[in-house]
Amino acid sequence: MTYIMFMLLVALIIGLIAVASNPSPYFGAFGLVMVAGVGCGVLACHGGSFLSLVLFLIYLGGMLVVFAYSAALAADPFPEAWGSRPVLIYVFIYLLGVGLMALFFCGGWYEGSWAIVDGWGEFSVLCGDLGGVAMMYSFGGGMLVICAWALLLALFAVLELTRGLSHGAIRAV
């Protein structure tokens, strides 16, 4: 289990570096899908299988909308790919930063914290992810409504910013 978690976390860091180092939204979308999948895999290995599935579906739906907006706004005929020189320089800088932080924080604390939620099966009453989802819906209903309104407001703000002077769906004919 430790090796699987190690490989998932290495893939998560590589995906985050791929997203951060790429200036083009076309190639950055693959990195985002990789990070979402690996992050949900880490969450599932910790015992949150239902929550990771729901998070993955919601995250991919939101990311599809963001990718559509960014691809429409970035009309770049020759986007920078992962093999180009500026992107490789950024990848090297980010890998160097991650390596330095790993050397700085290396101390042996990480292996003991890789316990799954239901590891103490005889002492737990509920499955960890289902209890968390129930708590989220019982105590977080107001915050869910506030977040939905904020997302709707952000959608209208983005539509208004990208509309232009005479183009768009809400124009005077």
Residue 80 amino acid letter: E
Domain ranges of the chain: 2-114, 128-163
In percent, the amount of the chain with pLDDT more than 70 equals 68
Q: Which of 43-57, 104-118, 127-141, 154-168 has the lowest mean pLDDT?
A: 104-118
User: What distance in Å separates the CA atoms of residue 72 and residue 165, rounded to the nearest whole number?
Assistant: 17
User: What distance in Å separates the CA atoms of residue 22 and residue 11, rounded to the nearest whole number?
Assistant: 17
Q: What is the pLDDT of residue 64?
A: 74
User: What distance in Å separates the CA atoms of residue 169 and residue 104, rounded to the nearest whole number?
Assistant: 52
- Predicted confidence (pLDDT) at residue 137 exceeds the cutoff of 70: yes
Please report the sign of the dihedral spanned by the C-alpha atoms of residue 100, residue 101, residue 106, residue 110: negative
Q: Which of 26-30, 31-35, 124-128 has the lowest mean pLDDT?
A: 124-128
Using a 10 angstrom Cβ sphere, with 0-12 exposed, 13-18 middle and 19 or more buried, the burial of residue 127 is middle
- Predicted confidence (pLDDT) at residue 14 exceeds the cutoff of 70: yes
Picking from 93, 119, 117, 91, the residue whose alpha carbon sits closest to that of residue 23 is 91
95 φ/ψ sector (left φ>0, alpha ψ -120 to 50, else beta): alpha
- Predicted confidence (pLDDT) at residue 149 exceeds the cutoff of 70: yes
Number of H helices, E strands in the chain: 6, 0
Q: Which pTM does this prediction carry?
A: 0.61
